[in-house]
Chains A and B, each alone.
Chain A
């Protein structure tokens, strides 16, 4: 079974998901993991799909041309065997909230600090909130602290960034509880 990553982005309106799902259903595709959300006024869909017979992107033919004719952007990426499953990552899950008056250069220093510690970002959302005269930037990161790294050490590094960037940053572990 070949797997593909499909992304679809376009101006948000009701019915996008239904159209996409109908096309995939008629093709005989399976939808595995997917995530869709509104960003700005755009609706963005990311789906991992598979098909029992399709070997490559060409097999989809012109299946998405109606979507494109309606102004949606469609991108299909073929996955190599095994790429459709996530490896089990070890470590401590944590949430990092970064927020403050909007200005250039908030995201990069924060994610660079994580990258330097080989901390894997598992989810990241940013949003511009507040008012036109006082825009506030909010970034929320879910990340996985590799085994052997202490939360307190990351907290200290983030405290330095907080001072340097003049933003508020907080870090907390989220302990998923298996009940």
Chain B
């Protein structure tokens, strides 16, 4: 299919709540292929959400298997249609950036492990547990489907060591 342009904030689609996919037809399959092509073309990218290419549907693709941080624990290339995070466990902070918000990064706290239910490309229902970087990438991409950017999740300024509650 095609490599699509990544939309940049303040494009309004990035702040929309996306609609669930109801049919696994050619349009859905084409969108999935575009997401995969776009993710692969952006060599450094480990995930893309449909609204980032201008389609407000609940579809994301994630693949951390080629990145240093995700190499050791991943499910390979994932296509997630109507994903739903069922469980969150643990806590980790990482410095996130986003292709739709260039030149800015922020510390974001996420669950260290998530259980995600979704439909795969063929419409088959699946449930996986993801850990570490793959869990972070999934949470970041799924946030896009609810119009949330990492900027909405920034947990601390650059150094978070000193920003604790007073004893």
**Using a Cβ cutoff of 8 Å, how many contacts connect chains A and B?**
51
Instruction: Enumerate A93-143 residues with CB–CB distance to B below 8 Å.
Output: 93, 97, 123, 125, 127, 138, 140, 142
Give the complex CA separation of A93 and B140 in angstroms: 22
11 A–B contact pairs at CB < 8 A?
A127-B162, A140-B161, A175-B69, A176-B97, A177-B46, A177-B69, A177-B96, A178-B97, A179-B97, A179-B137, A179-B140
Asked whether A174 and B95 contact (CB < 8 A) given A179-B46, A179-B137, A179-B150, the answer is yes
Docked Cα-Cα span, A24 to B31, in Å, equals 47
- B66 to chain A minimum Cβ distance, whole angstroms, is 13
Q: Is the C-beta of B65 less than 8 angstroms from some C-beta in chain A?
A: no
Chain B: how many interface residues by the 8 Å CB criterion?
25
Binding site for B on A (CB under 8 A): 37, 93, 97, 123, 125, 127, 138, 140, 142, 174-179
Closest to B42 in A: A178
Contacts of A175 in B (CB 8 A): 68-69, 95
B122 within 8 A of A: no
Contact between B162 and A177, CB atoms less than 8 A apart: no
Taking A93-B95, A123-B158, A125-B162 as known contacts, 4 extra A-B pairs with beta carbons closer than 8 A to each other, sorted by chain A number, are A142-B158, A176-B95, A178-B98, A179-B46
